Amino acid sequence: MKKLTKMIAAAAAVAVILFSTESKAQSTTKLGIGLNGGIPTNDGHGFALGGDLRLQFDVSKRVSIPVTTGYTHFFGKDNVPDFGYIPAKAGVKVFLNDTGSGAYGSGELGAAFGTNEGGGTRFLYSPSLGYAWSNGLDLSVKYEGLPQSGNNIGQVGLRLAYGFKL
């Protein structure tokens, strides 16, 4: 798992370097600040709450590369302890039209670094569907999964964010 985490981190770093050095005429970089709330897919947790920061590198009007980090907290129930993690993920976001706003689909992969004692590092994947308005507001529905043999954690969540150009 450590080797996979290092490979994902290296790929994300390369993507950031490649897309941040493009000329401003070809690409735009945006910073998004989001709030996330979710319903866990496992029985041991009641709800999930988090926040994130997302750099979005617009490759074209229809395709962007998001790189996301933040913090998510799963609140335990029935003597199940809380679980918190810091995500580090990158992916692709595809708009359905040529305006750079409107409906989109997105997918991200990365690692989740547990903040609890013994939390460890897990693989993380997150597909989503959303709508981005031209004024910077962004609303999406996502699934976020953290599979691990015998102890899978996941959530169906809602993300409300605001993004602005850098």
Task: Tell the residue number behind the tokens 């401003």, with chain if given.
Answer: 24
Q: What is the reported pLDDT for 22? A: 45
- Residue 105 CB-density burial (10 A; 0-12 exposed, 13-18 middle, 19+ buried): middle
- pLDDT above 90 coverage of the chain, percent: 71
Identify the three-state secondary structure at position 152.
coil
Residues 110-132 have a mean pLDDT of 94
For the record, the structure tokens of 159 come out as 């993300």
Lowest mean pLDDT among 26-30, 49-53, 75-79: 26-30
Compare 55 and 3 and report the one with higher pLDDT: 55
pLDDT at 94 over 60: yes
- Residue 162 CB-density burial (10 A; 0-12 exposed, 13-18 middle, 19+ buried): middle
Mean residue pLDDT of the chain comes to 88
Compare 38 and 43 and report the one with higher pLDDT: 38
Residues 53-67 have a mean pLDDT of 96
Q: What is the reported pLDDT for 147? A: 92
Residues 87-101 have a mean pLDDT of 95
Q: What residue type is assigned to position 154 of the chain?
A: G
Handedness of CA 87, 89, 94, 98 (dihedral sign): positive
Q: Taking the CA of residue 149 as centre, how many other CA atoms within 13 Å lie in the half-sphere pointing to its CB?
A: 1
Q: What is the pLDDT of residues 21-42, one digit of tens each?
A: 444 445 689 999 999 999 999 8
Q: What is the reported pLDDT for 21? A: 47
Residues 66-80 have a mean pLDDT of 95
